[in-house]
């Protein structure tokens, strides 16, 4: 890369890395420690989970997951009542990325420890909400029912985004859903979906039964997700990412979110360009995957 081009792209690279890591200009300690560990982890090299979670479509998937999760009033109440998403949105993003990458790329013990840390943090996330049928219910972030919805929304978002803009998945869509069910079980979700058909059926079932709803509180979250406090250098690209996430939602979910109008952008092509640009800036492999691969090399050398 020429020095002139490097000077042009360096500020954007810095802003992107800071955004994804929570404003840290250095690799977080948890990420560096992924090189440690005594085994290959829950999934292993070149698994479906590794391919999906290290790819650029995760940028779209993260936004889509937040939108879909917000339609469940219990998940929404937990975010509104207990997170500092408006004051520290990047901190929450960084925490979510840490858990996903630790479970995906860490050793088995690291995945278990990372999940226990999340569950300990969730212990204080309790309260009440009005469900889609108008009934007031109590909730806890560690409730298996609520954790199940978060898992389903996450899995569907990452699978759908990858199907639109990613490369082939080892074992296909069913392989990814079946693999990532291990993460659900870590969060005490019993019998999570293990095929793409079962995953989509679970979302349709929740929608058809009226478990999801829109409303003013959902609209408030959507407005924030649509225009988060990002660096000016990232705003145009983020608009494309947001529109891409919305374009992959079911029409009835878009309507609940108040996002029924389609954007005029040629969204599929624009998203490919944005994701290619992101890959150019930060590389084709995530730092978490590279750390995990170094662990696997170390273990292989020790076994020889």
| Length of the chain measured in residues | 304
Alpha helices (H) in 209-248, listed in sequence order: 216-226, 232-247
Structure confidence at residue 12 (pLDDT): 56
Q: What is the pTM of this model?
A: 0.88
Structure confidence at residue 6 (pLDDT): 47
Structure confidence at residue 1 (pLDDT): 46
Going by C-alpha positions, the residue among 189, 109, 99, 110 that lies closest to residue 142 is 189
- Calpha distance 44→170 (Å, rounded): 12
For residue 59, is it left (φ>0), alpha (ψ between -120 and 50) or beta?
Answer: alpha
CA 80 to chain centre: 18
Q: What is the dihedral of CA 234, 238, 240, 246, to 10 degrees?
A: 180
Structure confidence at residue 250 (pLDDT): 95
Structure confidence at residue 26 (pLDDT): 64
Structure confidence at residue 302 (pLDDT): 85
| Phi (first) and psi of residue 28, to 5 degrees | -60, 150
**Would you give per-residue pLDDT tens digits along the chain (304 residues)?**
455 444 544 555 565 666 665 555 567 788 889 999 899 999 989 899 999 999 999 999 999 999 999 999 988 888 777 665 665 555 566 778 899 999 999 999 999 999 999 988 888 878 877 777 777 788 777 888 889 999 999 999 999 999 999 999 999 999 999 999 999 999 999 999 999 999 999 999 999 999 999 999 999 999 999 998 888 888 899 999 999 999 999 999 999 999 976 666 699 999 999 999 988 887 777 889 999 999 999 998 988 7
Residue ranges of domains in the chain: 3-303
DSSP string covering 12-72: HHHHHHHHHHTS-SS--HHHHGGG--SS-TTT-TT-HHHHHHTSTTHHHHHHHHHHHHTTS
Neighbours of 272 (CB within 10 A): 17
Going by C-alpha positions, the residue among 85, 94, 83 that lies closest to residue 28 is 94
């Amino acid at each position: 890369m020429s020095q002139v081009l490097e000077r042009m792209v360096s500020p954007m690279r810095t802003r992107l890395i800071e955004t994804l890591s929570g404003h840290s200009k250095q690799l977080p300690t948890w990420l560096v420690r992924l090189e440690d560990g005594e085994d290959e982890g829950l999934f292993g090299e070149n698994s479906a989970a590794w391919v999906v979670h290290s790819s650029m479509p995760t940028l779209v998937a993260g936004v889509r997951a937040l939108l879909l999760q917000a339609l469940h009033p219990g998940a929404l109440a937990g975010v509104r009542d207990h997170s500092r998403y408006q004051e520290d949105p990047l901190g929450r993003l960084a925490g979510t990325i840490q858990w996903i990458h630790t479970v995906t790329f860490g050793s088995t013990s690291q995945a278990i420890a990372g999940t226990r840390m999340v569950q300990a943090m969730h212990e204080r996330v309790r309260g009440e909400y009005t469900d889609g049928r108008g009934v007031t219910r109590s909730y806890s972030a560690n409730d298996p029912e609520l954790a199940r919805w978060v898992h389903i929304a996450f899995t569907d978002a990452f699978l759908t985004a990858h199907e639109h803009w990613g490369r082939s998945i080892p074992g296909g869509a069913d392989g990814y859903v079946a693999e990532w069910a291990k993460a659900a079980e870590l969060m005490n979700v019993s019998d999570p979906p293990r095929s793409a058909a079962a995953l989509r059926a679970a979302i349709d079932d929740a929608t058809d039964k009226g478990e999801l709803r829109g409303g003013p509180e959902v609209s408030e979250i959507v407005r924030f997700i649509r225009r988060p406090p990002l660096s000016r250098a990232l705003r145009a690209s983020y608009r494309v990412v947001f529109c891409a996430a919305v374009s992959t939602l079911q029409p009835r979910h878009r309507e609940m979110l108040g996002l029924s109008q389609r954007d005029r952008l040629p969204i599929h092509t624009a998203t490919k360009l944005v994701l290619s640009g992101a890959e150019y800036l930060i590389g084709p492999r995530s730092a978490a995957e590279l750390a995990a691969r170094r662990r696997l090399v170390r273990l292989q050398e020790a076994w020889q």
